[in-house]
Structures are given as C-alpha cells and as structure tokens.
Amino acid sequence: MNSVKGKDVIEWFFARRVNTENVIQELVTHCNDRKERFSLQKQCFEPVDVYPVSNENNEKRSVMIMNRMPNIAKQPQKSSQRKEKAPPEVPAVITDKERGTYYEKGRFLGKGGFAHCYELTNRTTREIVAGKVVPKSMLVKQYQRDKMAQEVHIHRELCHPNIVKLFHFFEDSLNVYITLELCARRSLMELHKRRKAVTEPEARYFTHQVVEGVLYLHDLKIIHRDMKLGNLFLNDDLVVKIGDFGLATTVDGDERKKTLCGTPNYIAPEVLNKMGHSFEVDIWAVGCILYILLFGQPPFESKSLEETYSRIRHNNYTIPSISSQPAASLIRKMLDPEPTRRPTAKQVHRDIFFKSGFMPTRLPVSCLTMVPKFGGHETSMMEENVAPGGVNQRGQRPLNGRAGLAALPQHMISNNAEREKAQQQAAEATFREPEDAYLSQLFHQVAVLLEQRIPGIEEEEAALDGYQSPECLPVFWISKWVDYSDKYGIGYQLCDNSVGVLFNDNSRIMLDQAGNELTYIEKSNKEHYFSMNAREFPQTLNKKVTLLKYFRSYMNDHLVKAGEGSEQRAGDDLARLPTLRVWFRTKSAIVLHLSNGTVQINFFNDHVKMMMCPLMQAVTFIDQNKRMLTYKLSNLQRNGCPEKFLHRLKYAKTMIERLMSDANVVAQNPARQPEVRGMATARSASAGSRGPLHGGHLPQTASGSNIHPRR
C-alpha cells in the first residue's frame, strides 16, 4: 500500500473491504508523515456501511471508522480461515429485570455487524418480537457505546406504520438486548434477489410506503442516511418498515452534515464530494431504490467502486426506454445531482407517478418470488366455453409462464393511450426467467461448490446460529404430495396450504389456500385465472377441478405436513403461486422442481427434505426433528459442511442433471412424459380402474393401492 494522504482516505477506504481495525492499522502504519499519522488518528468519521457492488453474493459487509480509534489493531484474518465468528452466548430465557419480563429465545433470524437477531417470545403475553443481541465484549470502547446509545435514542422515539418499532432495551451480564417489531418477511433485498425487477404497480406500492416513512422522519428533523433495500423490512402483511438507524442523525435548521456515511450504490454526490449534506441524501437513495425495483439493478452500478463513484459524481446513468414517463420523471427528479433541486419528501409523496396507474392496497406473500396476477380480461378461452344458460363467466388474460409478465385489471386501465402504452412497457421491463427456470444456473452453483475441497465439520456445529443464513429460507416448498401419475398426475400442497396438480398431459392447476382463486396453466404455459366462488371456470375444466378437490381432501385428511402453514391474508386474490414444473421418483427420493426455480428433494428413508434456491444461492434442510437449517452455498464452501449434508448435495447434483434432461423432453413435446417418471411410478403398476372418483374419495394408502403418498 502506498502512502495514504488525508484527501485520499475516503476513496481508499471505500475501495477496501476489510474490518474496522484492519483499516485503522493499515492507515496508521502506512502514513509516512508523523503529523499526518497523528491527524489521521484524530479524524472523526461516523460509521460507513460499505456494500460491495461487484460482489456476486451481493453480501452486505460493514466497516467502520469511529471517532476514537484503537491504538492496537488485530492482524487481518487470512482468507483461508474458514471459521465464522462465534455467536453471542444467549441464554434460553432472557430476563428484563427492570420490567420483570421474561423472553424465551426462539429461532435465529440473522446477523449483521456486531449483532445477532432472534425471535423472542414474551412468556406472559406470548407476543413474539425480534431481539437484537449485542455482546458486551463488542462494546468495550466508549465510541461503540456512544454509537449504540445514539441509535437507540433516535429510534425509540419513533412511532409510524412504516418504521420498525423499537419496544425496549435492557442488558444482563453478557449482552445488551433491543426488542424490535418482528418483520417476518425479511427485506426488499431478498425480494430483489428473487425477482430482480418488479412490476410498476408493485414499485408504486413499495416506494409509496418508503416515502411515507421518510416524510415522517424528515418532519422530525431526522436523516436516515442509510436508505437501501436491505434496511427496508417487510412484515407478514408486506408492509414496508424502515429500520437500522445506526447512521441516523438529527439536523438543526439549515445545518449541513460533513460526515462521510452511506452505502456506495446509494450514496449521493454531495456526500462523495464532501460538500455537506442534509435531507436530500435520503431522497437520492429513494430514487436509487425505485430504479432498482423497476429495472433490477442500481442506476450507477459498475464493475468497480471507483467507476461507480465516478458515475455518481457525473450523474452518469440511463433510464431504460421501456420505463413509463411518470416513473422516469420521478427518478430523474430524485437523482438530480444538485441537492437543492431535488423534491422534498412531501413533494415526492404527491408525485403523479403514484396516481398514474394501479397501486394495490395489499400484495400477496407470493410476490416475494412470483409476479402477481394483476391480469386483464381474456375472452378467447371463455368465448368457446360459455356455461349453459348463457351465464357470463369471467376469465383472465393468459400469462406466458416463461416471460413472467403481468398486466393490469381492465377496469383499472385508463383510456389514455399514453398511459396504457407506458404500463405495458413497464410490464415488459419485468425480469424474464430463463427457459429452464434456473436449472442450469443451480447445477453450475452446486457443481462449483463440489469441485472445491469442502472442509468437514460436525453436524452440531453446522446447526449453530453463526453458520446459518435464515434470510435465504425459501418462500414456498412442497409440504405434501400424492403420486397418482398412473392415471392422472401428481397432486401436492405448498407450505401455505395452497394445492396444485401437475397432470399427465403437462397442464397444471392451482388453488389458493382459501379455496377461492383458481389458476389453470395450459401445456403451452398460458395462464388463466378464475374465481371458485362464482364457478367461473369453463366446463372443459370440470374434471380437472374435481380431481384437484379430491387431491386436496385426501392430503388434508391423511398426510402430515412438512413445515409451517399460514393464514389467509389480504391481497391473496392477486397471488400467483409457483407450480410444479418437472418431477420424478427414484428408489430413495422424490425430486421436484417448482416454476420459481426451487428444487426440492424428499428422502424416503429418514424423511429429510432439501430445498435449493438458485436465486438466493442457498440450500435449506428440514431434518428429522423438523428443524430448518439454511445455508448459503458460499458459506458451506468457506465454513465447512457435515458429511451427511455433503452426501446429499452430491446426490442433488445428479438429480438436477436428470431434471434438466426431463425438462428438455417436456419442452420439445409438452404432451410427452419423461421416461424416468414412468419408471419411478412402476410401484403403482397394480392400479386398475379404480381412481379418485371411485366411491367419492381417494383410496386409503395400502399395499398395492393406486396412490403412493410420501411425507
């Protein structure tokens, strides 16, 4: 490292991605001039959260330079060192002595910086909150305690529907605890990783809530200063909650803050140029957030941090031509290089963008991984299938499953030609899924992992909180299934209690958990939506709907579920659920591939389930005790993997190859079934004429029966 001069510290600091004390050590060691070294040690920087733009895993890393720099720094850890830092020692029952409250420690939720987060259940009220746990060993320096005190001081006074609520903070001999509102659906970062770009109605929905939260903060003279997808959390109802006030500050009058802070992809030019900043930096960040939601990547992202900062300074970004005019206009206003020209939060809140098209009041949980079915009207199928008596039946515009596009309900579309065109263009901006639904991508990820020398660890060690990445838990997996492919197909239930059937002709049908919304997907991948309550589906679907009902009844009555269910929620009428795409059975497992890319393998001998997500680059195991353990593939490579799991990953690689082969067969001839499926169902060869319709119910599981359920 060359000599570091004061004016170059910022650029050098951002370009590095190491921990706090390593930064300090190298800065101090390599400053040749004694005065310069002393000055550097005395500089006061607030935390700078560095988000590496070119990191494939898109993993958040934080480094901080604080106002009181330690004189002695630890040596940098070697990259070959595989062990994660041990999680804090957290008792099974946590006591808030001041309030006389006892919390039971539950699931590990994630980690960041010094803190680990757990579900905590109040023993008296049974209320579940998120508990942020910071070991006191990480708060030995005064500046560390001051920083945490400032964060709590700002956050505890906030009360708004779009701000994560801070309930209490307390301590014991080991840790400091902060209890927070639980945001069970993680953050917009996980949505972005799974979806890339979202539709314009969804972007309005999320951004409008973000702006309402920012408006509330600015009215209180608070600048958040770290607005980004990872700090925008989602509760069970998919309400946006702004969190993480570690960089927040208050402003007096026209004060301009001089501190360098933020996250590179969201940093405003006045921060980089050290011109002083205020509320406008949050508006800039919201502009970046809207851009990412609509187009799937940050506006100034490049292959290097230096190039990213150059683009920010020169306002060098491009709005794709498919953007609607209102969206493009709002983005340009928020990303104006001159802070004084940017709109205030109040002006953004009133912007025409939020009135230029449909903005849902609620969204379904399925939108975390699948495009919602905003759908228009479809007449082609329904005109051919009018019910007896001439009753009009409502059909929905088909969606091409491979393109993943969504349209707006007809009654919500203006007659204005420009608006219709803009909304269609926005829909076309939606990230297009690959033809194989990410199978080749997943195969590559697993193959690369297995090519490395993966260190072995004990299974108990792998279950430790520090090794897991629960934020990568799949949104959907198959909790029950019934194989009746001898005659009809395979029925299955997702973890949210919705039920589907993949028929032998490769058509698919799906019923939501409430039994109200029906989706039918032709073998050509055209999608049609119907209301079960109004019996809107055409007569041609009567037999398949009847089979679906019986599959559903059988699974509810006879099979044990793998994983948790969920209650019906507002917005579920917009849900577009993943469906089973390809499957087969072997002697030891059933292998299932969902349309959102998830590959699931259920092992027969020990009932362990394995779900792999190519978009999150992660694998989840449900063990014999129904524990869910989720790991990033990169962490398995770095930290090690138990032989039991490693063996299953090797098996999965072979199974993914077979899935790819089967998918090719179906793509070339949608009506043809893969050979391996017929082989896999040979065990049910004794099936005769009896079937689900015989006797009004599905037959009980028995030796030689027509149906082969597995858990």
**Alpha carbons 604 and 539: distance in angstroms, whole number:** 39
Are 175 and 208 contained in the same domain? no
Are 253 and 284 contained in the same domain? yes
Predicted pLDDT at 136: 92
pLDDT mean over 689-702: 32
Q: Give the structural domain span for 52.
A: 1-81
Q: Is 336 left (phi over 0), alpha (psi -120 to 50) or beta?
A: beta
Neighbours of 508 (CB within 10 A): 23
Are 218 and 290 contained in the same domain? yes
Q: Does residue 415 have a pLDDT over 50?
A: no
**Alpha carbons 298 and 619: distance in angstroms, whole number:** 27
Are 40 and 117 contained in the same domain? no
Whether pTM exceeds 0.75 = yes
Looking at per-residue pLDDT, the higher value among 708 and 191 belongs to: 191
Please choose, from the candidates 683, 694, 700, the residue with its C-alpha nearest in 3D space to the C-alpha of residue 486.
683
pLDDT mean over 14-18: 36
Residue keyed to tokens 């733009």: 53
Looking at per-residue pLDDT, the higher value among 36 and 587 belongs to: 587
Arithmetic mean of pLDDT over the chain: 78
List 163's β-bridge partners, or say none: 242
**Alpha carbons 602 and 585: distance in angstroms, whole number:** 10
Q: With contact defined as beta carbons under 8 Å apart, do 171 and 133 qualify? A: no
Could you tell me if residue 561 is inside a domain?
no
Rounded to 5°, angle at Cα 191 from 552 and 664 = 60
Q: Report the percent of the chain where pLDDT is more than 90.
A: 59
Which pLDDT band holds residue 327 (cuts at 50, 70, 90)? very high
Q: Is the dihedral of CA 460, 464, 466, 470 positive or negative?
A: positive
CATH number at residue 111: 3.30.200.20
Q: Report DSSP state, residue 48.
A: B
Are 236 and 327 contained in the same domain? yes
For the chain, the first-to-last Cα distance in angstroms comes to 58
Give the lowest-confidence range in 510-519, 624-633, 692-701: 692-701
Q: Is 315 left (phi over 0), alpha (psi -120 to 50) or beta?
A: left
Predicted pLDDT at 702: 27
Chosen domain end from 294, 320, 355: 355
User: Which residue among 96, 226, 351, 572 is the active-site one?
Assistant: 226
For residue 308, count CB atoms less than 10 angstroms from its CB and return exposed for 0-12, middle for 13-18, buried for 19 or more.
Answer: buried
Stretch (H or E) spanning 193:
helix 188-195
**Alpha carbons 435 and 437: distance in angstroms, whole number:** 6
pLDDT mean over 25-38: 41
Q: With contact defined as beta carbons under 8 Å apart, do 209 and 290 qualify? A: no
Could you tell me if residue 246 is inside a domain?
yes
Stretch (H or E) spanning 249:
strand 249-250
Could you tell me if residue 344 is inside a domain?
yes
Stretch (H or E) spanning 494:
strand 489-494
Could you tell me if residue 163 is inside a domain?
yes
Q: Report DSSP state, residue 446.
A: H
Which pLDDT band holds residue 403 (cuts at 50, 70, 90)? very low
The residue type found at 153 is H
Predicted pLDDT at 711: 37
**Alpha carbons 700 and 220: distance in angstroms, whole number:** 64
**Alpha carbons 617 and 615: distance in angstroms, whole number:** 5
Per-residue pLDDT tens digits for 515-552: 889 999 999 999 999 988 777 788 889 999 999 999 99
Please tell me whether 543 is known to bind a ligand.
no
Predicted pLDDT at 686: 27
Rounded to 5°, angle at Cα 685 from 679 and 686 = 165
Residue keyed to tokens 């009555």: 557
Give, in order, the Cα–Cα distances in Å from 305 to each of 151, 226, 316.
28, 17, 14
CATH number at residue 329: 1.10.510.10
Q: With contact defined as beta carbons under 8 Å apart, do 339 and 256 qualify? A: no
Are 680 and 585 contained in the same domain? yes
Are 203 and 326 contained in the same domain? yes
Query: Quick check: helix, strand or coil at residue 611?
Result: strand
Are 117 and 66 contained in the same domain? no
For residue 533, count CB atoms less than 10 angstroms from its CB and return exposed for 0-12, middle for 13-18, buried for 19 or more.
Answer: exposed
Could you tell me if residue 556 is inside a domain?
no
The residue type found at 627 is R
Could you tell me if residue 448 is inside a domain?
yes
Predicted pLDDT at 51: 32
Greatest Cα pair distance, the chain, in angstroms, is 94
Per-residue pLDDT tens digits for 463-502: 788 889 999 999 999 999 999 999 999 999 999 999 999 9
Per-residue pLDDT tens digits for 593-642: 999 999 999 999 999 999 999 999 999 999 988 889 999 999 999 989 98
Could you tell me if residue 15 is inside a domain?
yes
Are 442 and 395 contained in the same domain? no
Residue keyed to tokens 């370009």: 15
Are 299 and 205 contained in the same domain? yes
**Alpha carbons 647 and 668: distance in angstroms, whole number:** 33
Question: Count of domains in the chain?
Answer: 5
What is the pairing mode between strands 499-503 and 580-585? unpaired
Chosen domain end from 325, 355, 385: 355
Per-residue pLDDT tens digits for 656-686: 999 998 766 556 565 555 544 433 332 332 2
Predicted pLDDT at 479: 94
Highest mean pLDDT among 356-370, 405-419, 533-547: 356-370
Give the lowest-confidence range in 178-182, 259-263, 296-300, 489-493: 259-263
Predicted pLDDT at 672: 53
Are 28 and 49 contained in the same domain? yes
Which pLDDT band holds residue 383 (cuts at 50, 70, 90)? very low
Residue 282: active-site member? no
Predicted pLDDT at 390: 29
Could you tell me if residue 172 is inside a domain?
yes
Are 223 and 303 contained in the same domain? yes
Chosen domain end from 33, 60, 81: 81
